[in-house]
Amino acid sequence: MSSMHSLQSFTKALTAFCFIVFIYFFIPESFSKTSVLLQYIIIVATVLILMLYHNKVLGELSLTESSSQNQEASADILTIESNSSTKDLYKSLTSLVIATTKSINPNCKSAIYIIDPSKHIFTLQAGKASEFADSISAGNDEIKKYIIGKKKLHQKEYPDIWADLFFGQNWRGSECAIFSPINLRGNLAGFILTSIDHFTDATDKEMEVLDKMGDFISFGLENLDSLDKHILGEESKSFILEILFNLDFKSDSQNIFNQIKYLIRTFFQYDRVTISIRKETENRRKHDKGIISIIRLTDGEKDEFIEGAEFPTNGSLHGLPVINGTSLLTANWKTSYPNIVRFKSTESENQNYRSVMASPVIIEGESRGSIVLERLSERPFTNSELKDLELIGQVLGSALHWRYEYKKIHTNATHDGLSGLLNHQTFKERFNDEIQRAARFQQKMAVMMFDLDKFKKVNDTLGHQYGDYVIQTVAKIMIDNVRAVDVVARYGGEEFAIILINTTAAMSNMVAQRIVDNIAEYEFSMDSIDTKLTISGGMSEYPTHTEDIKELIEFADQAMYATKQRGGNGITIHDSTNKND
């Protein structure tokens, strides 16, 4: 019982910590106070976890196999020795985890379940016991289908299954639940269960974010598991753990490579290290993708192959781990691999490297890059060093994968899915940032509101698909006619908003008129159906007309409707002396 209690305590702390790191990655930069608070909490939590890790709190990993009546694959479970200090860590973090789920959707309630292999049940690790069942049978095949399938469960459709998950409340029948699996080495180790008051409140974006929360906990458990099984000193384990949790997915991916370089410098002696990632080219046929690799990082001896240089993946030493998906270790690579070149057949012979150790970078189970360490002498790398490099390659692959996932979710959360422009909420956040920047540097800004003329007629007569095509085309015209520093958003259905940075309304009038003219002149054509459209625009100026964001939008909106009253297809600048143009 005591070991199981220790498992639950540490798992709670670890799960909560992974959640907070995950949420910190996804907080918009405009939420500076919240971001700073989370930074301090993460620092404290990291120190505590590292102390636990360094003092051998993690203990010895043991795996227990459990199977269902249908002979499904067993789940591998971490059993970790812990102590009472994790209770305090858990209490300080759990409340923030639950609050964070609420922030995604105020109608959300979440709980975390981790499997107890000795009892063959999923036990409640975080969440209100008055709202969620304290345990769920791991052999409940119906519930497992929803966990693994990541499907919505509707209370009205399956009241019996619902009763196994929730109790103590009155149900209206409109509620739904979302499952986010937590996996360890490909097997189900637990799940996040989220209930929402009404099934219509669960948007696809929210489901994707909740799903990624489960993936991120899995990511943390997988790496901790690998570290614990790897034959490293406690100091080295703590060092890798610290690097892993300090990776900033919000920053440029080069930051990840730089952190890995720091890690490699600490572990190995070499004359040159090169990290390459295969280049994905969508224009090529599927079997040709990845035929070229690009160097993302070098350290040590310099030659013509610098960061950003490209080379053929096939037929090269540095592409060999990518092609084969395996590591290599040789004291003289030219003898071991006489039929390949280092990078290119045209390369110079200035550097005569001999001893080489290389590991593939595995991303989502696929070899997509290589880490290659080279020495000018034949002093060989050891098998132990190769295992260390393979571990680092695994960490790098995981980090790059999560960098990609962060970018994808961040884009989905901040951009309109149809037009690709900033969405309404993100526009307001960016507007606030630009207002603060303009005030600090005493700059002016032009705020534009646009609305397509008679757009409803397009949807009613030509169909919504044609309407979507029009929205996408208008968005592209707007992006093509402003600078990269300017802000363009889809404000509503057929309404758009633009902020022109460090300029006046009078100076911006030419840009606005160009947008109006380009849309009026554009030949919209889809499925052999041609049409013409116009747009009406209005403009206000910060701080001339007002310093208040809401009023700036209102003034620009009023000016836009003044344009429509004159027949549309134009731009109007707000006149503060005339109240409304």
What separation in angstroms does the CA of 179 have from each of 76, 102, 145, 214, 371? 19, 16, 10, 9, 37
Give the C-alpha separation, 287 to 543, whole Å. Answer: 56
Per-residue exposure over 277-300, b if at least 16 CB sit within 10 Å of its own CB, e if not: bbbeeeeeeeeeebebbebbbbbe
Per-residue confidence at 153, pLDDT binned at 50, 70, 90? Answer: confident
Following CA atoms 264, 269, 271, 276 in sequence, which dihedral angle do they give, to the nearest 10 degrees?
-20
Cβ atoms < 10 Å from Cβ of 254: 11
Whether residue 196 has pLDDT greater than 80: no
Give the C-alpha separation, 407 to 14, whole Å. Answer: 24
Specify the pLDDT at position 247.
56
Whether residue 220 has pLDDT greater than 70: no
Q: Which residues contact 286 (CB under 8 A, 6 or more apart)?
A: none
Cβ atoms < 10 Å from Cβ of 574: 27
Give the C-alpha separation, 453 to 424, whole Å. Answer: 20
Lowest mean pLDDT among 42-46, 195-199, 225-229, 559-563: 42-46
Torsion sign, CA atoms 455, 460, 464, 469: negative
Q: Which fold would CATH assign to domain 424-573?
A: Alpha-Beta Plaits (3.30.70)
CB 74 within 8 A of CB 187: yes
For residue 190 the two structure tokens come to 């637990």
Specify the pLDDT at position 219.
60
* Whole-number percent of the chain with pLDDT over 70: 66
Rg of the chain in Å (alpha carbons): 28
Break the chain down into helix, strand, coil percent, rounded to 5. 45, 20, 35
Give the C-alpha separation, 39 to 20, whole Å. Answer: 9
By C-alpha distance, which of 411, 1, 11, 33 is closest to 205? 411
Amino acid letter, residue 134: D
CB 452 within 8 A of CB 537: no
Specify the pLDDT at position 387.
86
- Average pLDDT, integer, range 314-332: 94
Lowest mean pLDDT among 109-123, 365-379, 419-433, 456-470: 109-123
Give the C-alpha separation, 421 to 506, whole Å. Answer: 25
Specify the pLDDT at position 217.
62
Q: Can you tell me which residue has the tokens 């209206």? A: 172
Task: Please tell me if the domain spanning 248-400 has the same topology as the one spanning 424-573.
Answer: no
Tell me the average pLDDT of the chain. Answer: 76
The domains of the chain are located at 2-228, 248-400, 424-573
Structure letter (DSSP) for residue 250: T
Lowest mean pLDDT among 79-83, 110-114, 152-156, 423-427: 79-83
By C-alpha distance, which of 530, 538, 534 is closest to 518? 534
CB 313 within 8 A of CB 322: yes
Q: Which residue has the higher pLDDT, 192 or 243?
A: 192
What pTM value is reported for the model? 0.54
By C-alpha distance, which of 250, 546, 288 is closest to 410? 250
What separation in angstroms does the CA of 162 have from each of 81, 171, 279? 34, 10, 47
Structure letter (DSSP) for residue 69: T
* Class in CATH terms, 248-400: alpha beta
Residue 179: alpha-carbon gap to chain centroid: 19
Three-class SS state of 530: strand
> Which range among 52-61, 87-96, 113-122, 300-309 has the greatest average pLDDT?
300-309
Q: Which residues contact 359 (CB under 8 A, 6 or more apart)?
A: 321, 327, 370, 371, 386, 389, 390, 392, 393
Give the C-alpha separation, 181 to 189, whole Å. Answer: 8
Residue 417: alpha-carbon gap to chain centroid: 16
- Average pLDDT, integer, range 41-62: 38
CATH of domain 2-228: 3.30.450.40
Lowest mean pLDDT among 37-46, 348-357, 376-385: 37-46
Give the C-alpha separation, 99 to 89, whole Å. Answer: 16
